[in-house]
Structure 1
Amino acid sequence: MDLRRVKNEEKLVLCRKYYHAGFFILPFLWLVNFVWFFNEAFRKPLYTEQSQIRSYVIRSMVGTILWLAVIITWVVIFQLNRADWGITGENLSFLIPTGRK
């Protein structure tokens, strides 16, 4: 979709939908929202809906960073401790690597 052809009110509605959809464990939509609406929020001349779009873009960026930190932390903890967790670690694994027991 070309945002240049969309009315400002519709841009706000679309940005809001992507922001709210990110709460349903879809943080990728927050990243898309941030990338897609960054220019609208910060580089375009001022218009009425821009402050709300800017708010959603900033919140989407913060949400993306938080989710990324949570996912990276979980992966590191799991990879370092999977073998020590015994059967629980194996039950959480999709593929069980051979090696350390």
Structure 2
Amino acid sequence: MDLNRLPNDKKLQLCRWYFRVGCLLLPFAWAVNAVWFFNEAFVKPPFEEQKQIKKYVLISAVGAAVWACALIAWVTVFQMNRVLWGATGDMLSFIVPLGRA
């Protein structure tokens, strides 16, 4: 989608919609929102809706970063401790690897 063809009020509406979708535990939508509207929020000359778009872009970027850090931390802890957790680690695994590392 070309954001240049949208009026500013529709850009704000779309940015707000992506932020709300991200609030439904879909952090990828926050990442898309932060990347997609970055230029509108920080590069373009000032316009009336820019302040609100900037707020949604910043919150989306922080939310996506927090989710990414939490996911990386969980994967690291799980990979390092899966064998130690025994049956619980195996039940949490989608594919149970054979043997021991």
Alignment of 1:69 with 2:69, yes or no, is yes
Normalising by structure 1, we get a TM-score of 0.96
Q: For 1:43-58, list aligned pairs within 5 A.
A: 43-58=43-58
- 1:15-40 CA-partner distances (Å, limit 9, x unpaired): 00000100111100011001100000
- Mapped to 2, the partners of 1:91 and 1:43 lie a distance apart of 48
For structure 2, the residue ranges without an aligned partner over 5 or more in a row are none
> What is the one-letter code of the residue matched to 1:50?
Q
Distance apart, 1:99 and its partner CA: 2.4
Q: Which runs of 5+ in 1 are unaligned?
A: none
Provide runs of 4+ in structure 1 moved above 6 Å. none
Name the Cα RMSD after superposition.
1.0
What residue identity is the alignment partner of 1:29? A
Query: How many equivalent pairs are there?
Result: 101
Identity in percent:
54
Q: Once the two structures are superposed, what CA deviation does each residue of 1:40-98 show, in whole Å capped at 9, x if it has no partner?
A: 00000100000000000000110011000000000000000101111110000011112
* TM-score, normalised with respect to structure 2: 0.96
